[in-house]
Amino acid sequence: MHDQLRDLGREIANQHSPYWLWQPQHIVNAHKQIEKRNAIQGIMADRMELEIRRHRGESMDNICGVISSLAPSLAELNVLVIRGGYWNHVIGQISRELVWLRWSSIGQRNLRVSLNNLRVLELYGAYSLEELWEADNDAPVQLRELVIYNSFKFQRFPNSIGCLKELRKIVIEGNTKILSLPEEFCRLQSLEHLQLGCPELLSLPSGFGNLRNLRYLNLYDCYRLMLTSENFQHMTKLEF
């Protein structure tokens, strides 16, 4: 889609309830209009800090104030695209209906947000992230896509990863410290796309070949990994 046509669509969507806040100015305006704050379903704020500072000269305290004022509006949110730790103090109020979360420069050890209905989880520059969720019963069982870039402290998948029966795509890149994959990883029977850039990864679980629906496998940068033919014995759908 052409950028101008996309922006026109977003501008139209921003004029009608439920509101989708795609630009920093939309977020600032909603901060001032109570009727908009009560009907927000999508926020794209990954460039908000840069844009607000450039156009308005806002201080960091003011940016945090804008975010705090939106906190009561997060109860019906479906889509959230954000950057930085300015959202840490309101993330616990995010809707349980959240479907898509993309968080860049996350500064938390783990996610403190409801994952019940999440379909897409993207974490970029997750420098402090050590685990995806605290308890096994917090696993996002409806998740379809998981993307993690540059998470230097991330060392392992939780065993409950095997509960994600709908998971179709996993991308892990950028100097993670993953040494191995749990055997439960091999229960991801819907997985079609797997991309692992894990230089510390030494081996694959014994049941790895049971990922029967895998079509795309990229182990670029896993230069310490030892492979055997048994790793691929049942992957009859593998194309790449």
Per-residue tokens: 70 = 């939106």
pLDDT score for 37: 52
Q: Quick one: pLDDT band at residue 31, thresholds 50, 70, 90?
A: low
Q: Report pLDDT digits (tens) over 72-100.
A: 677 778 888 887 767 777 777 777 788 99
The CATH architecture annotation of domain 3-232 reads Alpha-Beta Horseshoe (3.80)
pLDDT score for 61: 55
Q: What is the mean pLDDT of residues 217-240?
A: 86
> At residue 106, does pLDDT exceed 60?
yes
Q: Report pLDDT digits (tens) over 38-56.
A: 567 888 876 666 555 555 5
The residues, any chain, with a CB within 8 Å of residue 54's CB and separated by 6 or more, are: none
Q: Report pLDDT digits (tens) over 172-194.
A: 987 678 888 999 999 999 999 99
Contact indicator for 17, 40 with CB cutoff of 8 Å = no
Can you tell me the distance from the alpha carbon of 231 to that of 139, in angstroms, rounded to the nearest whole number?
26
Q: Quick one: pLDDT band at residue 36, thresholds 50, 70, 90?
A: low
Using the CB atoms, write b or e for 88-103: b if 16+ within 10 Å: eebbeebbeebbbbbb
Can you tell me the distance from the alpha carbon of 121 to that of 193, in angstroms, rounded to the nearest whole number?
15
Give the global pTM: 0.82
What percent of the chain shows pLDDT beyond 70?
78
The residues, any chain, with a CB within 8 Å of residue 177's CB and separated by 6 or more, are: 152, 153, 154, 155, 200
